[in-house]
C-alpha cells in the first residue's frame, strides 16, 4: 500500500519512473465496477484514511476476499502506517529488505519509494536491495534488526532466544523485536500474495511499454 511516488526516492528522480495502472498476469484484481457495496466501503475508507484517489494493486488483491480486505485495512491503519513501537522508517526498511529477498518487484519498489519518502538515503535503499549492510549510514542497531528480520523471513525454525537477546543488546526492546517479527512475517505474506496474483511493479520506465 504505497501512497507516494517512486520519484520521492532519493537519487531516483532522474530515472523516468511513472506510476502504472495496477495490473496482474496470473489472477484478476478486484474491479471497482463490479465490487460489492461492502468492498466499495472499504475502498472509501482507504481513500479517506490515506488521502489517495487510486487503489493500489495489493489492496485490489485483498479485495477478492472481503474478510481479508477488512482485516488488512485495520492492520494498515494501526500497525503498518500508524504509530507503533518501531518507527515508520524502520518498518519500511524491513519491508524493503524482505521484499527484495523474496524477489517481489511490486512490494520492493513500493516500499523503496516509501522509505525514500521517510528521508532514507539512496545508499541505504541500495544496500537493502542487495542485502549488503556494510553501509556507514546504517547504525549497528539497524543492522541487527534487519538481520533478525531476515532470519524470520528466510529461515525461522532455527531462531532461538539467543537471536532475540543479541538484537536487544544492539539497542532494541523486547517489544520492538516482537513487532519486527510481525512486520517481517506480514511482508513475507504480502510478497507471496503479490507474486501469486502476478502483480506488476507499480512503477514503469518512461518507455510507453507495459510494466
pLDDT tens-digit series, residues 3-25: 333 343 443 433 344 567 899 99
For CA atoms 47, 51, 55, 60, the dihedral sign is negative
More confident residue, 141 or 210: 141
For CA atoms 92, 93, 98, 101, the dihedral sign is positive
**DSSP labels, 61-76:** HHTTSHHHHHHHHHHI
Domain boundaries defined on the chain: 1-211
Percent of the chain with pLDDT over 90: 81
Give pLDDT, residue 18. Answer: 53
Task: State the Cα–Cα distance between residues 117 and 13, nearest whole angstrom.
Answer: 12
**1-211 has CATH 1.10.1330.10 classification:** no
Cell numbers given for 195: 507474486
Considering the entire predicted model, what is its pTM?
Answer: 0.87
pLDDT tens digits, 92-130: 999 999 999 999 999 999 999 999 999 999 999 999 999
Segments of the chain assigned E as strands: 17-19, 203-205
Amino acid at each position: 500500500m504505497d501512497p507516494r511516488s517512486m520519484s520521492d526516492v532519493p537519487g531516483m528522480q532522474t530515472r523516468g519512473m511513472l506510476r502504472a495502472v495496477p495490473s496482474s498476469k496470473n489472477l484478476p484484481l478486484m474491479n471497482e465496477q463490479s465490487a460489492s457495496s461492502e468492498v466499495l466501503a472499504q475502498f472509501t475508507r482507504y481513500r479517506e484514511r490515506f488521502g489517495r484517489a487510486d487503489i493500489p494493486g495489493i489492496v485490489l488483491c485483498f479485495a477478492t476476499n472481503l474478510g481479508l480486505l477488512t482485516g488488512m485495512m485495520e492492520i494498515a491503519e494501526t500497525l503498518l502506517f500508524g504509530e507503533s513501537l518501531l518507527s515508520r522508517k524502520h518498518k519500511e526498511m524491513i519491508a524493503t529488505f524482505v521484499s527484495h529477498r523474496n524477489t517481489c518487484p511490486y512490494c520492493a519498489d513500493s516500499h523503496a519509494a516509501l522509505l525514500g519518502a521517510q528521508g532514507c538515503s539512496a545508499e541505504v535503499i541500495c544496500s537493502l536491495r542487495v542485502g549488503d549492510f556494510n553501509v556507514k549510514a546504517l547504525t549497528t542497531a539497524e543492522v541487527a534488526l534487519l538481520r533478525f528480520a531476515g532470519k524470520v523471513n528466510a529461515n525461522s525454525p532455527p531462531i532461538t532466544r539467543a537471536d532475540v537477546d543479541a538484537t536487544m543488546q544492539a539497542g532494541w526492546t523486547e517489544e520492538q523485536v516482537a513487532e519486527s517479527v510481525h512486520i517481517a512475517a506480514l511482508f513475507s505474506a504480502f510478497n507471496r500474495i503479490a507474486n501469486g496474483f502476478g502483480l506488476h511493479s507499480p512503477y514503469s520506465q518512461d518507455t510507453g511499454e507495459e510494466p
